[in-house]
Amino acid sequence: MIVAREVLGSVEELVETRAIHEKQGTFETVSVSERERNRSRFKTELGDGTELGVVLGDRELSPGDVLVESDERMVAVEFERREVLVVSVPEMSWKEALELGHHMGNQHWELAIRGDELLIPVVSERRLMERTLREELSDGATIGIESVDPELFDDPEDDPGHPHGHGSDHAHGSDGSDHDRSHSHDDVHGGHG
């Protein structure tokens, strides 16, 4: 098992090193899930089955971060894309929009806004989520599906330049900032039968 306790730089910075590893066939990326990238530590597996422990502490991972660099290998991070429902609504009154937002909050769903589209990560069965949404949407609205960069849902305060995304949870870290770290679920109070 290899344990990475720091980020050695990004692939953009380590161009020459990467080129050497690419040539040797020893460069690889490790796909990091939404849940893993928000934890302070996680364990994953490399292409050849080697276990990789990642200890982040206060650091947040970014795509392209290099976790391992040795004679044998160079390992960089990529983020697993998130499957989202893409909702396009022709036009809404503020009351309808408020009701839709309230309804989505009740479902603990995350939301990112991209232009005129609402992006909602698929966190339970797609058909159930679509059914719930349909009840709130006008007839002209469309619901599509897409795989997107998970950073669309990150808090813009953490990384300016991102579209404004809002999670359904706000973990107030010791720095007092809001983090969007949710792994939210279609959750109904009471036992799930």
In the complex with another protein, the residue whose CB is nearer, 69 or 168, is 168
- Is position 179 an interface residue for another protein (rule: CB under 8 A)? yes
In the complex with another protein, the residue whose CB is nearer, 58 or 71, is 58
In the complex with another protein, the residue whose CB is nearer, 1 or 15, is 1
Which of 39, 103, 114, 162 is the binder for another protein (CB under 8 A)? 39
In the numeric block, the tokens 């939404």 are attached to 34
Q: Which of residues 40-59 bind another protein (CB under 8 A)?
A: 40-43, 53, 55-58
CB atoms within 10 A of CB 131: 10
Q: Which of residues 111-170 bind another protein (CB under 8 A)?
A: 123-124, 168-170
In the complex with another protein, the residue whose CB is nearer, 35 or 164, is 35
Query: Minimum CB separation from another protein for residue 80, in Å?
Result: 13
Residue positions counted in the chain: 193
- Is position 35 an interface residue for another protein (rule: CB under 8 A)? yes
Among residues 125, 160, 159, 162, the alpha carbon closest in space to that of 145 is found at 125
Among residues 166, 181, 169, 170, the alpha carbon closest in space to that of 38 is found at 181
In the complex with another protein, the residue whose CB is nearer, 73 or 179, is 179
Residue 170, token pair as written in the block: 């706000």
- Is position 107 an interface residue for another protein (rule: CB under 8 A)? no
Among residues 149, 138, 158, 81, the alpha carbon closest in space to that of 114 is found at 149
- Is position 182 an interface residue for another protein (rule: CB under 8 A)? yes
In the numeric block, the tokens 């839709």 are attached to 100
In the complex with another protein, the residue whose CB is nearer, 110 or 136, is 110
Distances in whole angstroms, Cα of residue 81 to Cα of each of 145, 149, 193: 13, 5, 31
- The alpha carbon dihedral of 79, 160, 164, 59 has a sign of positive
- Is position 190 an interface residue for another protein (rule: CB under 8 A)? yes
Q: Count residues contacting another protein (CB under 8 A)?
A: 40
Distances in whole angstroms, Cα of residue 46 to Cα of each of 15, 36, 40, 66: 21, 15, 19, 13
> Which chain residues interact with another protein by CB under 8 A?
1, 3, 34-36, 38-43, 53, 55-58, 108, 123-124, 168-174, 179, 181-193
